[in-house]
Structure 1
Amino acid sequence: MKIKLASWNINSVRLRIDQVIRFLEEQKPDILGLQEIKCQEEQFPFEAFREAGYPYIEVSGQKGYHGTATVSRLPMERLPTSFCPLEHARHVSTRVIAKGENCDQDFEFHNFYIPAGGDVADPEINDKFQHKLDFLDVMRVYFSERFAKGDNQQVLVGDFNIAPHENDVWSHKQLLKVVSHTPREVETLATLQATHDFTDTARLFRDDDEKLYSWWSYRARDVMKSNRGRRLDHIWVSPALKPCVEATGREGYEIHTPCRTWEKPSDHVPITQVMDLTD
């Protein structure tokens, strides 16, 4: 049983609902984690997703800012989680029930919109940067507790607002002091990843010297020509699920770059990962 996971910072789900539905129709992911939906729960376009074949929907909304939502073809139930120290709507956690002819298991799907961190990479003078570090630390503690209880079927997706590798940015040297690629952030994210041995699926079958981007600034006049991007969006899996990703090979992961050239696009593009859950 193969399932396709997707993640997309949509930068207003109501403004770009037609783009989201187009993506769902073209790529047919089984689960989609959306970030920065920018609406309250009652404003979320539930019916559009249901009509598209995604009846299972969990939303964490906030007026005008932030917000995350997970939509799914597969049954899922909400998990009682709390990551954001400031109680912003920055995550939705669910347990997905994947049942098929050769599969009967479930896994946890954590959809994150990690704080951007402001403009100055110094927590002593920038509360937003401190908030980002605190958020990552809460994630580390949470997953330590989950793994200690034996809950090791974990998938993390979302806009992490960190480009960890040198070739996850268009210029490593020029962005070392730019929030999203500073050593402090990269090291903090690496600690979270290493503590639980999470696999960054984008790099599983790709060398670190391959340039990978999922975000391009709106300020660029010709986005694809200049190609000054960053890989801020991620899909991670726990060790128990790593074989499910390995079974799909290099083709199992994709960054959907053409979406950045659609009319009135998000500054992020969707990413997808196929997992083979066959017993």
Structure 2
Amino acid sequence: MPGVMRLMTWNINSLRLRLPLLSRLTDEIAPDIVCLQETKVSDDLFPSAAVQALGYRHVHFRGMKSYNGVAILSRLPMRANDRAPDWCGKGDCRHVAVTLDSAIGPLDLHNFYVPAGGDIPDPEANPKYAHKLAFVDEATGWFTGHTQTPAILVGDLNIAPLEQDVWSHKQLLDVVSHTPPETSRMNAWLQTGFVDAMRHFVPSNEKLYTWWSYRNRDWKASNRGRRLDHVWVTQPVVPQLRKMTVLNEVRDWPSPSDHVPVVMDIDL
């Protein structure tokens, strides 16, 4: 019998540092699957025992020391899915994927951490920005023709594509994460066959953020946020979507990440 699967995606900004927050979220939110970005831990030091003690018996991860890193933690059985390439040939641990069994057939789940892109929105002057654009172009090409079957793509995509995904569209047009070369590329990637599941629940003319800079002394008062974290689904999954929640309150927890978790309930 199908049931509701609770999926949570979160840029945790160091898994080992924020294990207590993950434990609290597990107790309060009870996700079935957790997709983490910026785990910042090499595979040999991944805290598997601590994660499994939280109830996530199935774990698939790819990490490196101090930077990047992605992981999928699950109460549900899943199989590693390694069909995707090493993006841009850098081996920098920015994508991990699994396949789950569901009532609508095999379901691919992709967890991404897209390059942030540095501070200068010029690919000639800033190799990090050039890498970001190339990464999204390569992902767009790879997913073209691969999105007819049930799939979910989540993660910190480091791009706020819509005007209401940032606190000021005009002031951020030349700030990396909201520049036209980035937003146009993200739209092209989305249009390979995905639906923006967060905007399925929140209209595009309403503000929606998932990230607030550490530089803001009072993030809530200034509310200079951006929606950098995303949940996309292919068309077969759209009728199964039930509820979406952005857990803004987690930004006020002790030693928080600058990102907050996004939770999606899906009938699977």
Preserved CA contact (<8 Å) 1:83 1:138: no
Cα offset, 1:145, TM superposition = 4.4
The share of aligned pairs that are identical, in percent, is 45
Q: Structure 1 residue 220 and structure 2 residue 216: aligned? A: yes
CA distance in 1, matches of 2:81, 2:203: 35
1:17-28 to structure 2, matched below 5 A, reads 17-28=19-30
Q: Structure 1 residue 265 and structure 2 residue 256: aligned? A: yes
Preserved CA contact (<8 Å) 2:118 2:129: yes
1:44-59 to structure 2, matched below 5 A, reads 44-59=46-61
Preserved CA contact (<8 Å) 1:74 1:97: no
CA distance in 1, matches of 2:61, 2:217: 34
CA distance in 2, matches of 1:137, 1:21: 36
Q: Structure 1 residue 172 and structure 2 residue 169: aligned? A: yes
1:239-277: CA deviations, max 9, x gaps? 1111111xx1xxx00100000000110000000111112
Preserved CA contact (<8 Å) 1:61 1:89: yes
CA distance in 1, matches of 2:249, 2:195: 26
1:145-174: CA deviations, max 9, x gaps? 424xx5x11100000000011111111111
Preserved CA contact (<8 Å) 2:59 2:73: yes
Match of 1:235 among 231, 235, 251: 231
1:107-118 to structure 2, matched below 5 A, reads 107-118=107-118
Cα offset, 1:123, TM superposition = 1.2
Match of 2:91 in 1: 87
Match of 2:267 in 1: 276
Counterparts in 2 of 1:83 and 1:210: CA distance versus 1, 3 Å? farther
User: One-letter code of the match for 2:232?
Assistant: W
SS across alignment from 1:63: coil
- Structure 1 runs of 4+ aligned residues shifted over 6 Å read none
For this pair of structures, how many residues does the alignment match?
264
Match of 2:150 in 1: 153
SS across alignment from 1:195: coil
SS across alignment from 2:123: coil
Counterparts in 2 of 1:94 and 1:222: CA distance versus 1, 3 Å? same
Preserved CA contact (<8 Å) 1:83 1:139: no
SS across alignment from 1:186: helix
Gapped regions of structure 1 (runs ≥ 5): none
CA distance in 1, matches of 2:208, 2:86: 28
Match of 2:9 in 1: 7
CA distance in 1, matches of 2:86, 2:131: 11
Preserved CA contact (<8 Å) 2:105 2:150: no
Preserved CA contact (<8 Å) 1:115 1:132: yes
Match of 2:68 among 51, 66, 69: 66
SS across alignment from 2:263: strand
Match of 2:182 in 1: 185
Match of 1:131 in 2: 131
SS across alignment from 1:243: helix
CA distance in 1, matches of 2:94, 2:216: 27
Preserved CA contact (<8 Å) 2:98 2:108: yes
CA distance in 1, matches of 2:4, 2:35: 18
Cα offset, 1:130, TM superposition = 1.2
CA distance in 2, matches of 1:195, 1:158: 17
Cα offset, 1:215, TM superposition = 0.4
1:85-106: CA deviations, max 9, x gaps? 12211011111123xxxx3732
Gapped regions of structure 2 (runs ≥ 5): none
TM-score (norm 2): 0.95
User: One-letter code of the match for 1:90?
Assistant: R
Match of 1:96 among 87, 96, 100: 100
CA distance in 2, matches of 1:183, 1:84: 22
Match of 2:78 in 1: 76
User: One-letter code of the match for 2:118?
Assistant: G
TM-score (norm 1): 0.92
Preserved CA contact (<8 Å) 2:33 2:74: yes
